[in-house]
Amino acid sequence: MFRLPLLFLAGLLALSPAMGRAAPPRRIVSLNLCADQYLLALADPAQIAGLTEWARDPDMSYYAGKARTLPFTHRTAEEVLTLRPDLVIGAPFVTRHALAPLQKSGVPMIDLPFDTDLPSIEASIRRVAAAVGHKARGEAMIAAMHVDLARIGPPPGRGRVAAYYQRQGYLTGTGTLVDDMMRRVGLTNLAARLGKPSLSQLPLETLAMARPDFLIVEARTDVVADKGSEMLHHPLLDRVVAPGHRLTLPQAMTVCGGPFYPQAVAALAAQVRAADRMKR
């Protein structure tokens, strides 16, 4: 007599989790380059309604190839409203006033912090994965990152000093993603030795007097392209740091954190080991 109601109740209980689960967003708009990277890694292409104009730039965006066929905006409120988003991600604080119409309409908006180490990258992956409806994809990505990092092996830096030197003499300091990568491969950041902040200008002569063991530069500065990169090829640098100790990293691996963090660390470690082999 009670069999039919019990079966009906069992069916409702089986369906209730799915019925209560919010549908994944279908029109996601990104408003900064770092948010682009996480969306391209975690969301389905069909979910992405708009990326930034930088997402297609291979010098800036690690996933530029994936972004090539996807729509992009210049982050104006008018463009974003036209796309009818159901999620806006990575909204910088400076554009919040321009996006007031979106806030009033109730469109969900989430900010991503600037990632400076592996734990913050993992937190961003989990946050974006949950927001786009792919939690399992995010967890699998984090697990794969740990496998890739383990494969790199013991840190080859052995406490030696490295300077991440950029155009116009800018030195990257502590508390940054690049600093975290240096420490992970066993290198000491020259900026820490000199008591410099996260970003500062350091005269070429001061860098030469510090005599770092390694110089880390952006990969695209291998060739002199402008006055900003010209100083990175000054003869004084070659006398202080041997050419084999000049390490390079693509800017697309350092401008933002992302799932490609292990690849950046692996590239840095491999170059340190290659420099050591050259001395034998």
Q: Which of 185, 136, 145, 105 is nearest to 24 (CA)?
A: 136
Residue 52 within a domain:
yes
Residue 10 within a domain:
no
**Listed residues 117, 149, 181: the one ending a domain:** 149
Compute the average pLDDT of residues 95-100: 64
Residue 243 within a domain:
yes
Q: 230 is in which domain, residue-wise?
A: 155-278
Residue-level pLDDT at 239: 84
Tell me, yes or no, whether 274 and 220 share the same domain.
Answer: yes
Residue-level pLDDT at 234: 75
Evaluate if residue 130 carries a pLDDT over 90: yes
Residue-level pLDDT at 155: 98
Residue-level pLDDT at 21: 58
According to DSSP, the β-strands at 170-172 and 199-201 are antiparallel
Tell me, yes or no, whether 133 and 226 share the same domain.
Answer: no
pTM over 0.75: yes
Evaluate if residue 98 carries a pLDDT over 70: no
Tell me, yes or no, whether 227 and 253 share the same domain.
Answer: yes
Q: Name which of 60-74, 102-116, 149-163, 252-266 the model is least confident about.
A: 102-116
Compute the average pLDDT of residues 180-189: 97
Tell me, yes or no, whether 145 and 62 share the same domain.
Answer: yes
Evaluate if residue 269 carries a pLDDT over 90: yes
Residue-level pLDDT at 44: 98
Residue 256 within a domain:
yes
- CATH number of the domain residue 78 falls in: 3.40.50.1980
Tell me, yes or no, whether 241 and 189 share the same domain.
Answer: yes
Find the length of the chain: 280
Residue-level pLDDT at 6: 39
Compute the average pLDDT of residues 44-50: 97
Residue-level pLDDT at 226: 62
Paired tokens of 23: 């549908």
**Listed residues 92, 124, 149: the one ending a domain:** 149
Tell me, yes or no, whether 198 and 243 share the same domain.
Answer: yes
Evaluate if residue 166 carries a pLDDT over 90: no
Residue 198 within a domain:
yes
Residue 167 within a domain:
yes
Tell me, yes or no, whether 108 and 187 share the same domain.
Answer: no
Q: How wide is the angle at C-alpha 270 spanned by C-alphas 266 and 276, nearest 5°? A: 150
Residue-level pLDDT at 12: 38
Residue 19 within a domain:
no
Domain tally, the chain: 2
Paired tokens of 232: 């990175």
Q: Rounded to an integer, what distance in angstroms lies between the CA atom of residue 181 and that of residue 115?
A: 12
Tell me, yes or no, whether 80 and 121 share the same domain.
Answer: yes
Q: Rounded to an integer, what distance in angstroms lies between the CA atom of residue 59 and that of residue 251?
A: 6
